[in-house]
Amino acid sequence: MEQTTPLQLIIITGLSGAGKSTASHFFEDSGYFCMDNVPPALMPKFIQICLESNGRLTKIAVVIDARGGSFFRKLFEAIDEVKKMNVEVRILYLESSDDSLVRRFSETRRKHPLNRGGRVIDDILEERALLETTRAKADFIVDTTSMNGRELQEEIRRFSQGFVGPRAMSVVFVSFGFKHGVPLDCDLVFDVRFLPNPFYIAQLKTMNGTNKEVYDYVFATDTAKQYAQKLKEFIDFQIPLFISEPKTRLQIGIGCTGGRHRSVAFAEYLFKEITSERISTSRIHRDLNL
**Contact present, 27 and 34 (Cβ < 8 Å):** yes
Domains and CATH numbers, the chain: 8-159 (3.40.50.300), 169-285 (no CATH)
- Could you give the CA distance from residue 281 to residue 23 in angstroms, rounded to a whole number? 25
CA 237 to chain centre: 21
Q: Three-state SS for 172?
A: strand
Averaged pLDDT for residues 255-279: 94
Region 262-287: mean pLDDT is 91
Cα separation, 279 vs 250, in Å, equals 10
Measured over the CA atoms of residue 156, residue 160, residue 161 and residue 165, the dihedral's sign is negative
The three-state secondary structure class of 260 is coil
CA-to-CA separations, 173 to 5, 108, 115, 119, 208, in angstroms, rounded: 33, 37, 48, 51, 16
Is the pLDDT at 185 greater than 80, yes or no?
yes
- The whole-chain average pLDDT of the chain stands at 87
What does the alpha-carbon distance between residue 163 and residue 58 come to, in Å, rounded to a whole number? 11
Tell me, yes or no, if the pTM score tops 0.75.
no
